[in-house]
Amino acid sequence: MDDKDVITVFQHESELYRLERFNKRITAVCVIQTILFFIYIVISC
């Protein structure tokens, strides 16, 4: 296993890490929007 393989693996892992963080951010936004939506319904009624 030479340096090139190591770099490729490292890049792949960082891509996965970035994707994971991106997914968590989207999930957080969805949760917040859902909560705000429920609050909006409660206030409207």
Q: Each residue of 16-36: pLDDT tens digit?
A: 888 899 999 999 999 999 999
- Fill in the amino acid letter for 44: S
What's the predicted TM-score (pTM) here?
Answer: 0.53
What rounded mean pLDDT belongs to the chain? 87
Structure confidence at residue 1 as a pLDDT band (50, 70, 90): low
Residue 2, φ and ψ in degrees, nearest 5: -95, 180
- Fill in the amino acid letter for 35: I
Three-class SS state of 39: helix
How is residue 18 written in tokens?
Answer: 């970035």
